[in-house]
Amino acid sequence: MTRTLRITYSLSFLGLLVGMGVWSLGGLQGFQRTAPMTLLDGKLAKAAETHYDAQFPIKRLGTNLWAAMDFKLFNEGRPGVVLGRDQWLYSDEEFKPAAGAEQRMQDNLALIRGVRDTLQQQGSQLVLAIVPAKARVYDEYLGKQRPASLHDDLYNRFHARARQAGVFAPDLMAPLEQAKARGQVFLRTDTHWTPMGAETAAQALAEAVGRQHLLVGEQQAFVTEAGPTAPYKGDLTHFLPLDPLFSNLLPAPDTLQQRTTRPAQAEAQGDDALFADTRIPVALVGTSYSANPHWNFLGALQQALRSDVANYAEEGHGPLVPMLKYLQSDALRNAPPQVVVWEFPERYLPMKTDLSRFDPQWIAQLKNTRKSEANLAMSSTRTHP
């Protein structure tokens, strides 16, 4: 190699490094320092490093390229999503086989029964709202990958076991299937139901509660107003990291019409309000199906039940943790409602939940409530699903 060629090669390589270095400085764009961040304790450097790593252009390029290859060549996304037909996406939690699932289902059912008994001791009636899996409601859009055999009759087994344990669990599958003829009840690119799906479930629950005469007292009227329709990028698209280079490959966004619900009449003011019963007749506990205002499940329940509803649902913790927290809350202890609606997606029944924040002895006590009855229910449903 001649001296001129070596110099040219070195300068080209140096220029490439400088160019990539300048380009990578874009990873610091948008970083904002907060008051607790200082150089002395290292928090500022750590925060800047984390932000830079997340925004590093070359890393983003590699991520986009790899995701595009998986998507186009193998019709796959990152772990967490299953690709269906016609741009339908599903959570892989509705497809996975699970080791030890039978024991976890037995443990979780025992907890459900214990929750029911604890609420009854407070004078509250449990209404278990089992949300059928999206892959069950919209199985016509499934691709080559199918749910594991564990999930085949999970919804029916869940209901059968709940009935055997004496838990009141109205069916939501049939109403959601019937509502599909009128519109979409689950979002195509998201794990959750649409506002219409949430409204369908709320109406089915309200009809079941009415047949059982679980709510007494004066009814309250609510009004639901629909806002404008806007594109909505579902949570399952996060497992397809194609932005920004291959965003054209992403499934088209859903359309979502935000709904809001309010009392038909303003609440009483003045002296009468001082002596009014402030106890809310219904409590709602559950997951992001209930906690996220996008779906307006809380408002749909209020309107369908013609009753105020207090919402204790939480996002990101599954159905068990919010309910166990509610059982230990002052809200239940001081003002128990007549009815507690527990929204419980079926896919969580065979899943393990981290309950380490709770006293193990208390959890064991909940599970051991009427233990012999639970074992009888399990053996019965194995024989007759």
Same-domain status, 106 and 204 = yes
**Arithmetic mean of pLDDT over the chain:** 82
Question: Quick check: 202 pLDDT over 70?
Answer: yes
Same-domain status, 47 and 161 = no
pLDDT at residue 79, rounded to an integer? 82
pLDDT-derived band at 381 (thresholds 50, 70, 90) equals very low
Lowest mean pLDDT among 43-52, 283-292, 325-334: 43-52
pLDDT at residue 10, rounded to an integer? 66
Cα–Cα nearest to 238, from 51, 71, 78 = 78
Catalytic residue positions, numbered: 190, 192, 288
Same-domain status, 39 and 181 = no
pLDDT at residue 328, rounded to an integer? 97
As given in the structure block, the two tokens for residue 141 are: 């859009």
Order of strands, edge to edge, in the sheet holding 125-131? 125-131, 339-345, 282-285, 309-311
Mean pLDDT computed over 307-318: 96
Question: Quick check: 4 pLDDT over 70?
Answer: yes
Same-domain status, 48 and 106 = no
Q: Please report how the helices 154-164 and 371-383 are oriented relative to each other, as an axis angle in degrees rounded to 10.
A: 140
Mean pLDDT computed over 320-329: 97
| Strongest mean pLDDT among 94-103, 243-252, 302-311, 362-371 | 302-311
Q: What CA–CA distance (Å, rounded) separates 238 from 156?
A: 31
pLDDT-derived band at 271 (thresholds 50, 70, 90) equals very low
Same-domain status, 104 and 50 = no
3-class DSSP string for 56-87: CHHHHHHHHHHHHHHHHHHCCCCCCEEECCCC
Would you say residue 240 lies in a domain?
no
Would you say residue 259 lies in a domain?
yes
Q: What CA–CA distance (Å, rounded) separates 160 from 379?
A: 11
Would you say residue 66 lies in a domain?
no
Better-predicted residue by pLDDT, 61 or 184: 184
pLDDT at residue 380, rounded to an integer? 43
Q: Amino acid identity of 168?
A: F
Percent of the chain surpassing pLDDT 70: 72
Mean pLDDT computed over 181-187: 97
Same-domain status, 285 and 359 = yes
Would you say residue 148 lies in a domain?
yes
Range of the domain at 192: 100-231+253-383
Same-domain status, 134 and 226 = yes
Same-domain status, 37 and 176 = no
CB atoms within 10 A of CB 91: 21
Mean pLDDT computed over 7-23: 60
Mean pLDDT computed over 31-60: 51
As for how many domains the chain has, the answer is: 2
Same-domain status, 336 and 257 = yes
Q: What CA–CA distance (Å, rounded) separates 44 from 77?
A: 34
Would you say residue 179 lies in a domain?
yes
Q: What CA–CA distance (Å, rounded) separates 108 from 344?
A: 11
pLDDT at residue 77, rounded to an integer? 62
Same-domain status, 210 and 151 = yes
* Residues 309, 298 contacting (CB under 8 angstroms): yes
Better-predicted residue by pLDDT, 346 or 245: 346
pLDDT at residue 31, rounded to an integer? 47
Q: How close are the terminal C-alpha atoms of the chain, in Å?
A: 78
Mean pLDDT computed over 30-50: 51
Each residue's pLDDT tens digit, 233-267: 999 988 887 666 656 767 899 999 999 999 998 65
* Residues 119, 125 contacting (CB under 8 angstroms): yes
